[in-house]
Amino acid sequence: MEYFKLLFKNFHSKTFVEKHFSSEEQKIIRDIKKTANNGPFIDSDISTLLHLQLKNVPTSDEELDKYVFIAIKGIGKGNRENIVELLKKKRSSD
């Protein structure tokens, strides 16, 4: 979880993002940065980014909520409850 905190603490650093995120994740990050706080796809984009980050990490619902909290705190956008629900749906469909 500490590495995850580091990732989202430095979410707005272009050089950090280029070094630590895949090209697919970087595209999603650019979309998130361009989207307004209340944009229609912001929660979906954030949940997709988190899904890619946590794809192989076994987590409980409580841990998932903590990861979402860390991410939206670093990003500065998103609705926690919506993102958690979207993320649960993505994880259950894998």
Q: How far apart are CA 54 and CA 6, in angstroms?
A: 15
Q: How far apart are CA 60 and CA 65, in angstroms?
A: 9
Say what the pLDDT of residue 71 is. Answer: 95
Q: How far apart are CA 72 and CA 79, in angstroms?
A: 8
Say what the pLDDT of residue 43 is. Answer: 95
The residue type found at 50 is: L
CA angle, residues 24, 26, 30, in degrees to nearest 5: 120
Q: Kindly report, residue by residue over 28-46, the tens digit of the pLDDT.
A: 999 999 988 877 799 999 9
Say what the pLDDT of residue 45 is. Answer: 96
- Residue ranges of domains in the chain: 2-93
The residue type found at 12 is: H
